[in-house]
Structure 1
Amino acid sequence: MEPPAVDDYLRLRKESGLSERTREQAEKCVGGAWAACHVVHEETGETAGMGRVIGDGGWYFHIIDMAVLPHHQRKGIGDAIMTALLNRIDEEAPGAYVNLLADPPGRRLYARHGFVETAPGSIGMRRA
């Protein structure tokens, strides 16, 4: 399990509909996750999907950068990435608190992996 190359990271974010990042941001963040996973399409060598985890290694983990290129979606790639990331967390930190921010396109995937909405008990917030 490893992160994608910077160019692949930038392309995956852009083409899958995530907010775009600068090359400088990508260069700093790609290798900085607690865990990362990417999938390469064997026939073309194209990086088709990715996901990363940031966390403290013991209790708190946040799933980020889940992205699959549109022409590779609905083929189980997102499920495979999520499974790999969650397995790593379960092996290293059983019973950990794992969260994510779920945009509408990913909500069914996340629900299949046991994620539930936290509102109204808690809500996600961000710095504006």
Structure 2
Amino acid sequence: MRSAPRAERPRAGPHPGREEGSATAEFAVVLPSVLLVLGLALGGLQLAAQRLVLASAASDIARASARGDPGAAERRLADLAAGVGVPAGVQRSLHRDEDLLCVTLTARPGTGILSVIALRASGCALETRP
């Protein structure tokens, strides 16, 4: 037995039954979200790279200071401030715990909203005594 043909409901719009432009509209909605996620991921990678540079420099400065070579420590700090990947204005703090000399470097990775974030890295070295 055959069923009666179903009557289709009329579709609204000038061209009933056509969905032209829906992909463009979906793309326009999704694109800003994709760009935001991509920007956040790239920003996170940049912060991680700057943190690694700071950690390496803190260890180098701690070793040079512990050896009694303040000139090498100052040169490394100057190289860091003038180098690529870390902004100018790196702050250094030293503290001693018995024979251990620790250096902490703090930097702000950028301007604007990134200036709220402070990157911090520490490095320690055993002081050599003559």
Normalised by the size of structure 1, how large is the TM-score?
0.25
Structure ID, larger Rg = 2
Whichever structure has more helix as a proportion of its residues is: 2
Whichever structure has more strand as a proportion of its residues is: 1
Normalised by the size of structure 2, how large is the TM-score?
0.25
